[in-house]
Structure 1
Amino acid sequence: MPISNELLLKQMSAIQKAGNNVTLRDDNARAFILDAIASSATLQKLYTYFANSGVGTIDKLGIKKRTLKTHQGINTKPDGTDLVEEDSVAFKLVSLYLDTWIENSNTFYTARTRGQDVRQALLSLMQAQYAADLQDLAFNGDESSSDPFLKQNDGYIKMAKNDAAIKHSYKKMPVIQTLTKITGEFEDKYIKGTFKWVMSRATNLVYVAEIQNRSTNLGDSTIVGGVLTHLAGYDVEIVDGMENNVILFTPLENLTVVAGLNVTLTTAAADSAAVAKQATYHFMLNDNDFVIRENKMIAYIDGKGTEEDPGVIVIPDSISIVEGDVTIAVEGTKQLTAAILPDDASNKSTAFKIADKAIATVSASGMLKGVAEGTTSVTVSTSNGKSSSIKVTVTPKQKLKEGVIMRDPYIDFDYYDKEYEGESVKDSDFSKLSKRASDVVDQLTGYKIAKSGLDSYDQFIQGLIKQATAAQVEYYQLEGIETDSTGQTESNGSFSIGKFSVSGGSTSTSRQSARVAPNAIAYLEATGLIKRNGVRIGAI
């Protein structure tokens, strides 16, 4: 049956008129605290110990030994051992109070929706506030803090940072692989299945993001509804209001709330302030402490120190193909190179993929090969899905016509004039000179370039080939293209480059040696493409 407004007003009037000041009996105090703790998502899962005095000790978290023995009949000796391996840990209660104004409207709403009388509604509201504050202080309390609230008592984070058997303070929050390794740092007798990863909601999202950025599922974690619930074989506990970038790894029963049995509740009688505020003033006094029952069963991890994370994973941000758009001939090849950023990415594995295998193919290592005339694209991707593509143009295969290779010269007039900046050549003469110079380059390199195509080489090698061709064009312009037929140069000079020697006036100098520009030989020597047998160039 719904509570009438008339009844609620009558109950509120009685409380405001007389006020209330009571110290709960032990059983009522216990019930009050347990009810309050039950309203908190995490506190209710911790171990609660009720103390009869302000100071004392509490048993450490017990470690069960191997106690089974073979029965020897009448010879059996009753030499049983204590199941608790170690004795106790001290506590010292601190008196904490909660005073608050509770608006009458909130009281009426709570009473009506919960079917409670006014006094019960007021207690429920106080218990909810008490539980929220107690959980905040239990985890984040720090007596050295400048915050008046936090400095009331040391919480689990501060105690674990000081005394946990396993402590790590990394430059930033460690990756999941590192957390997994930490579970192996405990002594075998202390680690068990009830351990949990205790963290704030924001810290939880750090690992949700790490998992979502993985290219494959490693099976070491579980995400449900966008929340990390399982990690490295252990459950995850999210604590509302817990300090960020900190993780405690421990059984929840190892974290203990020690509460005194003296609970005092006071409701002030109505006065002018209460009338003005349309609220009632309430005061609650209780003694509390927080205890970690076994430091050998807790690990403290944070991302606020100087320790390097041994398992840190640097995720690739981008990838590109260094060569850019490429052109190759049918049956020509070209090695593609992938560049990943940042440079210190942990996983630099790549995968190349061709859009149309009928036009070209590409190997796992990026070796591109022309198949048929046309255009297609190559895409390279990283392990976490970043990708980049280039255009691939495949030109007709280089053909032989009456022993002459049909292919374009290796340079054009713009390259010779603007990039190489060679001696002035008439535009009408350049076509003939560049074709003849390209022929010389082919002869010196055993036609390797002509067969595979200029674009099949990396940018550095292409540059040297073009420079060699330009040097030969300039040589023809200075010495005369007649050199090719007479074997004599206009300057009749001599030169030597590296392993090659050419003497213009020597009777032993062949036409082959006389017709090659010194710089052309030097550039081609640097490419490693020089044909060393069958080319008649004088060698020192």
Structure 2
Amino acid sequence: MRNQELIRKAEMTLASLKTGGLMNATQSNTFIRMMQNTPTVLNDARIIPMESDSQKIEKIGFGQRILRPAEEGKALDAKDRVVPATSTVQLNAKEVIAEIHMTYDSIENNIEKDGIQQTIMQMLAERAAVDIEELIVNGDTTSADPFLAQMDGVRKQAVSHIVDANGAEISRQMFKQAYKAMPSKYLRVPQDFRFYTSPSLEVEWKDQVANRQTGLGDAAIQGGLSSAFGVPVKGLANMQPYDEAGTDVSDILLTHPKNIIVGFSRHIRIEVEKDIRSRKFIIVLTAKLDSKFEEEDAVAKVMKVKE
């Protein structure tokens, strides 16, 4: 197939991605699932499709004992009656963007195999998932980075149950303190929770477990998911270290994965442009999202852990 024919076919195939710019609901849901399949925090979190750029999530539950001693033929006194606690989580979507540049040469093989559309969608989903995880984890409205300054991420949102490691190296005592800092009413099934760390801290913890020379230690050094006090320890690529008095430190978050809510507006847009001077196609994805803890009280954070 001659080069010009390849380029014409690429134009037709890429044009089919646009659908007027906005994805329909089915396309949006499919793309979000593709992002979830990428090994990031999106793979664990609770994903909420937002009908608009702003959405409230209603919460209802009982935070206290509801059972009382029963007396035959007698209703409970007013002081013994309970009502559920209600509250809301407010999501306000912020716009993010991902961009892929593909040269004419780079698409040739995919064109011949009719695989370019799927390839592009997969590339966009993988790149977007990494960028979105960075925002969800490290977002900080006071940041000098305009991308991260769009919203506060989960590291900054965790404020209720804090353990300060003061630059000490990772140890089981840190996990123990985080575990004890978490209100016990949430930790009914510890194995469903996660200790989220940086990849470096995850490796350090696996190394400590491996030194025990047990079956568990062998599994850890072989790449298995290590745990601490029954809670799996998982590294997030974007939970990067920060400087504290000249020392690189990071954080450990303890929470249930589904306590992390990520809301995506259905208004996902893909636009394609051909740059004939650079001999490439430019594919741009824009989406709107927000992330909150459903219950911030159900989060413990160990801060300033030496990398």
Structure 2 length-normalised TM: 0.78
Q: Which residue of 1 aligns with 2:186?
A: 190
Q: Where does structure 2 lack aligned partners over 5 or more consecutive residues? A: 242-249
Residues 62, 205 of structure 1: alpha-carbon distance in 2 compared, 3 angstrom cutoff: farther
Residues 256, 18 of structure 1: alpha-carbon distance in 2 compared, 3 angstrom cutoff: closer
Q: Distance in 2 between matches of 1:74 and 1:27?
A: 56
Q: Which residue of 1 aligns with 2:33?
A: 34
Q: Which residue of 2 aligns with 1:230?
A: 227
Letter in 2 for 1:225: Q
Q: Which residue of 1 aligns with 2:99?
A: 99
Within 5 Å, give how 1:58-207 maps onto structure 2: 58-60=57-59, 85-109=85-109, 117-160=115-158, 163=159, 165-171=160-166, 172-193=168-189, 194-207=192-205
Shift in Å, 1:45: 1.5
Q: Distance in 2 between matches of 1:295 and 1:220?
A: 33
Shift in Å, 1:12: 0.5
Q: Deviations over 1:110-156 (max 9, x none)?
A: 677xx754333222221111111111111112221222332232211
Matched, 1:287 2:282: no
> Is the contact made by 2:210 and 2:216 (CA closer than 8 Å) also made in structure 1?
no
Residues 29, 50 of structure 1: alpha-carbon distance in 2 compared, 3 angstrom cutoff: same
Shift in Å, 1:259: 0.9
Q: Where does structure 1 lack aligned partners over 5 or more consecutive residues? A: 306-540
Q: Distance in 1 between matches of 2:94 and 2:69?
A: 49
Residues 93, 28 of structure 1: alpha-carbon distance in 2 compared, 3 angstrom cutoff: same
Residues 50, 19 of structure 1: alpha-carbon distance in 2 compared, 3 angstrom cutoff: closer
Letter in 1 for 2:52: S
Q: Deviations over 1:364-411 (max 9, x none)?
A: xxxxxxxxxxxxxxxxxxxxxxxxxxxxxxxxxxxxxxxxxxxxxxxx
Q: Distance in 1 between matches of 2:144 and 2:205?
A: 31
Residues 12, 138 of structure 1: alpha-carbon distance in 2 compared, 3 angstrom cutoff: same
Q: Secondary structure at the match of 1:87?
A: strand
Within 5 Å, give how 1:67-466 maps onto structure 2: 85-109=85-109, 117-160=115-158, 163=159, 165-171=160-166, 172-193=168-189, 194-213=192-211, 223-226=220-223, 229-244=226-241, 245-268=250-273, 270-273=274-277, 276=278, 278-303=279-304
Q: Which residue of 2 aligns with 1:318?
A: none
> Is the contact made by 2:163 and 2:177 (CA closer than 8 Å) also made in structure 1?
no
> Is the contact made by 1:63 and 1:189 (CA closer than 8 Å) also made in structure 2?
no
Shift in Å, 1:292: 0.9
Q: Distance in 1 between matches of 2:75 and 2:139?
A: 52
Residues 14, 217 of structure 1: alpha-carbon distance in 2 compared, 3 angstrom cutoff: closer
Shift in Å, 1:167: 0.4
> Is the contact made by 1:11 and 1:117 (CA closer than 8 Å) also made in structure 2?
no
Q: Distance in 1 between matches of 2:195 and 2:111?
A: 38
Larger Rg: 1
Q: Deviations over 1:299-335 (max 9, x none)?
A: 1112269xxxxxxxxxxxxxxxxxxxxxxxxxxxxxx
Residues 23, 71 of structure 1: alpha-carbon distance in 2 compared, 3 angstrom cutoff: farther
Q: Secondary structure at the match of 2:226?
A: strand
> Is the contact made by 2:264 and 2:287 (CA closer than 8 Å) also made in structure 1?
yes
Q: Secondary structure at the match of 1:100?
A: strand
Question: Which one scores higher on RCO, CA 8 angstroms, separation ≥ 6?
Answer: 2
Shift in Å, 1:222: 6.4
> Is the contact made by 1:23 and 1:263 (CA closer than 8 Å) also made in structure 2?
yes
CA RMSD of aligned residues (A): 3.8
Residues 130, 109 of structure 1: alpha-carbon distance in 2 compared, 3 angstrom cutoff: farther
> Is the contact made by 1:100 and 1:283 (CA closer than 8 Å) also made in structure 2?
yes
> Is the contact made by 2:197 and 2:234 (CA closer than 8 Å) also made in structure 1?
yes
Q: Distance in 1 between matches of 2:152 and 2:218?
A: 32
Shift in Å, 1:200: 1.7
Letter in 1 for 2:176: T
Residues 107, 135 of structure 1: alpha-carbon distance in 2 compared, 3 angstrom cutoff: farther
Matched, 1:22 2:18: no
Q: Deviations over 1:45-94 (max 9, x none)?
A: 210112122223223485687778999999999xx987x64421222111
Deviates more, 1:137-146 or 1:225-234: 225-234
> Is the contact made by 1:174 and 1:303 (CA closer than 8 Å) also made in structure 2?
no
Residues 225, 127 of structure 1: alpha-carbon distance in 2 compared, 3 angstrom cutoff: same
> Is the contact made by 1:196 and 1:236 (CA closer than 8 Å) also made in structure 2?
yes
**How many residue pairs are counted as aligned between the two chains?**
288
Residues 9, 47 of structure 1: alpha-carbon distance in 2 compared, 3 angstrom cutoff: same
Q: Secondary structure at the match of 2:288?
A: strand
Residues 17, 39 of structure 1: alpha-carbon distance in 2 compared, 3 angstrom cutoff: closer
